[in-house]
Amino acid sequence: MSTATSISSKGPKKTFGQWFAATGWRHLIGVALCIYAAFPLLYVLSASLNPNGTLLSSNGFFSTIGLESYEKLFANEQRPFAAWFANTMFIGLTTAAASVLLGALAAYSFSRMRFKGRRFGLVSLLVVQIFPQLLAVVAIFILLTTLGDVYPALGIDNQIALIMVYLGGALGVNTYLMYGFFNTVPIEIDEAAKIDGAGHARIFFTMILRLVAPILAVVGLLSFISTTSDFVIASVVLVSPENQTLAVGLYSYVSEEFTSNWSVFAAGAVLAAIPVMALFLFLQKYIVGGLTAGAGK
Amino acid sequence: MNLKTTAPQEAAPERASGEKSTSLQFSGGLGTMIFKIVALAVLDATAVFAIFLAVAKDAVLIASIIGVITLLINVIYLKRGWLPAKYLAPGAVFLLIFQVFVIGYTGYIAFTNYGSGHNSDQDDAIMSLLQTNQQRVPDSASYPVTVLDGADGLALLVQREGQQLVGDSDDPLAPIDPAALGKYTQLNFADLLGRQQEVTSLAVPMSEDPTQGTLRTSDGRTAYQYTSTLVYDKGADTMTDSITGTVYSDTGVGAYTAPDGEQLMPGWSINVGFDNFTRAITDSSIRSSLISVTVWTFVFAFLSVATTFFLGLFLAIVFNDLRMKGRKIYRVISILPYAFPAFLGGLVWAGMLNKDFGFVNQVLFNGASIPWLTDPWLAKFSVLWVNLWLGFPYMFLVCTGALQSIPEELSEAAKIDGAKPFQIFRLIKMPLLLVSVAPLLISSFAFNFNNFNIIYMLTEGGPRLADGAMNVGSTDILISMVYKVAFVGSQRDYGLASAFSIIIFLIVSLIAVISFKQTKALEELN
């Protein structure tokens, strides 16, 4: 400490040693952390900008820059990336919106009404939530095959069918998160509205939904993220390439022509990750609250 | 305005039935009412249409289920009262069909031999057997045909006894109204050449009776009658091979079986009782795979939680110093892996860890070829490493939140009593932190227990186990094993996969019971 040099000229005088002992070493860890966290992401970005395309040539970090891989990505007709992207957005957004609505309806009734079987309902939701849907993927596949013989729109290789399957999982996961939040909205608000002559539906749609908007955002986002990153059910239900989602399509990119098409895959990965990451960072504040309330990754 | 429209309807009878808050159960007035009726009408019309379709296809069970559900929905929304049901019904319908029912259905499939070669019922199997093992009838008359292209694929047009007959691979030959021929286009010579494979594989049943055989053409102009080399005896329920004379009979294994054990495929799906479960326990190759996969699933889930938690906790402590500048930047950057879609994380790391061309070997290890993903132990390490990358930000966020919610007074009081910083952490902060974080650790364990994406995207469960006859690898967890048994490769065994699913259900329930007892989550419900 005696040999330490003073590095700060402004503010209270501190030696380098003192600074290091107090917060400096934390910065050291912070820098290491940033490298660990961000490096693979920078690597994908650099690989996607590498026009050469192979896995080996992607190791040169940002050595060459070009957008050819992005052009190739959209030009490939066997692997219609644009369709995957649109499908994923359609399936993800529809499922998220419907999950929020279904979950909010259920949470409202559990939070505001007292009825026979309410406790049973809450407990069974908790129990159902334990068993993730993907465990029953075989049964889902066979059920949809059977349904598809009668109604092609609800069969294998149909996105509506996939959305309906996802909605089956909506109540279990979301109702709990919402139920807790609904309970924090004072019931006096409902009562005041009732006295003013508002009915239950008006109270729910015009008042409560606004007050619980943060949890709606969290549930919508979590549902969107889990839907768009689902591989198991989507890969079983969606068969033809033009119907598939990003998770299924990008996996086929890698599993079939791993090393030669690497930069094209990386370009796809970058584009696929951007909307999710943007949403996530944008709504970060809300999510952190929701996460600690019981969502997991 | 609301009161005006609803008031006449809530007349005496409703009041008398003891509904206290009737006036409040009708909200929105006329507009809502109309919306409700229109929505129900649309739903009912769709349901009636769906029931007709189902009845037309002989799917009576589906028709009756749709009928019952529609009826219930109508009752719920048209009846006064039952308010909670009105709010719960939409979600409950999906929940019951696609979560509760499919879990029960998994239980049913686990007791069948459903899978490759056993996909359908016995009638379909007979039909399929008679259609696939066909030979040209030696003295078959030749039928001049025209190949047509229609909405259901290719069809054949035959002139017989002055009648025009059309049939395709699904519909047997039947007389056709000349006007209806406009639906088809005739294939010209160039088309015939271009779609040769399709044309030669087209087999049109002669009639509804499958023993009559089919009509096939090799050149698109002349067709011959083909009949099966198998002869089905309806009375004895046996298949006889007319060439070798072997008799295949239904011995209760879901396929026609010769005395020497040879089976005719396809068979049909039958109830096999506990066969799948006994097979999983007694068949040594399945058993050893199942045991090693189960052990690894627990190890993987536990170590995933432990590593992410300790790294997250460590970082939370390091960055929980108010004097430190730039904490926000560090935090945002460290959240990035969590925001990155998990399946992409696995795929990207699979590239980076590639043995021959990957960044890690080529750049960090200077061209070494370390088998990160192909050596059983290194692959396990890699899976945990990548999962740490994906998962630590969550624990970091959670621990930061938990640490900040611990009142500062506690550590100050301890300091005054002479406690050292580490003692304060170990004896005061850590126990408080664990109380608030424990439920999240359990849910994180449950999540990783079925964390299919990370395993499948990184290693596809590989490298394959050396001893196992099954397509199972050393990083496979239970859920990825279920997926592989059911959907990967040519031999699909839905029955066995469902039996594995049931085993996972049991394990998960056990964990849940234990964790419920621990956290007493059920008691918090009010």
pLDDT averaged per 10 residues in sequence order, chain B, 526 residues: 37 38 50 86 93 88 91 89 87 90 91 81 75 72 80 77 78 78 78 78 77 77 78 74 74 75 75 84 86 93 95 90 81 88 91 87 85 91 95 90 85 87 85 83 87 92 76 90 88 89 89 75 52
Helix (H) / strand (E) element for B224: namely: strand B222-228
Q: Is the pLDDT of residue A1 over 50?
A: no
For residue B167, the SS3 value is strand
Helix (H) / strand (E) element for B163: namely: strand B163-168
Q: Residues 144-203, chain A: which have Cβ within 8 Å of B?
A: 146-147, 149-151, 164-165, 167-172, 175, 194, 197-203
Helix (H), strand (E) counts: chain A: 16, 0
Q: Residues 2-21, chain A: which have Cβ within 8 Å of B?
A: none
A133 touches chain B (CB under 8 A): yes
**Closest C-alpha to B64, from B49, B54, B73, B74:** B54
**Separation between Cα atoms, residue B361 and residue B231, nearest integer Å:** 62
Q: Are the Cβ atoms of A288 and B397 closer than 8 angstroms? A: yes
**Separation between Cα atoms, residue A144 and residue A163, nearest integer Å:** 12
Minimal-distance CA residue of chain B relative to A133: B99
Q: Which residues of chain A make contact with B483, given a CB cutoff of 8 A?
A: 137, 232
Q: Are the Cβ atoms of A201 and B32 closer than 8 angstroms? A: yes
Q: What is the DSSP string of A7-27?
A: ---SSS--BHHHHIIIIIHHH
Q: Are the Cβ atoms of A136 and B352 closer than 8 angstroms? A: no
Supply the ipTM of this predicted assembly.
0.86
State the average pLDDT over residues A254-280.
84
Residue A32, min C-alpha distance to chain B (Å): 10
Q: Are the Cβ atoms of A200 and B25 closer than 8 angstroms? A: yes
**Separation between Cα atoms, residue B514 and residue B526, nearest integer Å:** 21
Q: How far apart are the first and last CA of chain A?
A: 45
A97 touches chain B (CB under 8 A): no
Average pLDDT, chain A: 84
Strands B185-186 and B142-150: antiparallel
Q: Is the pLDDT of residue A88 over 90?
A: yes
Q: Which residues of chain B make contact with A233, given a CB cutoff of 8 A?
A: none
The dihedral built from the CA positions of residue B288, B294, B296 and B299, taken in this order, carries a sign that is negative
The dotted CATH code for B283-524 is 1.10.3720.10
Q: Which residues of chain A make contact with B487, given a CB cutoff of 8 A?
A: 137, 141, 235-236
pLDDT band at A279 (very low <50, low <70, confident <90, very high): confident
Q: Is the pLDDT of residue A122 over 80?
A: yes
Q: Residues 146-175, chain B: which have Cβ within 8 Å of A?
A: none
Helix (H) / strand (E) element for B509: namely: helix B494-519
pLDDT value at position B520? 64
HSE of B219, CA atoms in CB hemisphere, 13 A: 6
Q: Enter the tokens of residue B115.
A: 């899978």
State the average pLDDT over residues A165-169.
90
**Closest C-alpha to B476, from B456, B496, B492:** B456
Q: How far is CA B55 from CA B41, B60, B265, in A?
A: 21, 6, 30
pLDDT band at A13 (very low <50, low <70, confident <90, very high): low
Q: Are the Cβ atoms of B343 and A250 closer than 8 angstroms? A: yes
Strands B174-175 and B230-233: unpaired
Q: Residues 100-119, chain A: which have Cβ within 8 Å of B?
A: 101-103, 105-106, 108-109, 113, 115, 118-119
Query: Which of B62, B87, B457 lies closest to A108 in CB terms?
Result: B87
**Separation between Cα atoms, residue B75 and residue B92, nearest integer Å:** 15
Q: Are the Cβ atoms of A150 and B483 closer than 8 angstroms? A: no
Residue A6, min C-alpha distance to chain B (Å): 18
Q: Are the Cβ atoms of B27 and A122 closer than 8 angstroms? A: no
Q: What is the DSSP string of B340-379?
A: S-HHHHHHHHHHHT-TTT-HIIIIITTT----TTTSHHHH
CB atoms within 10 A of CB B245: 7
Helix (H) / strand (E) element for B185: namely: strand B185-186
B506 touches chain A (CB under 8 A): no
Residue boundaries of the structural domains of chain B = 2-109, 122-257, 283-524
Strands B230-233 and B238-241: antiparallel
State the average pLDDT over residues A59-66.
77
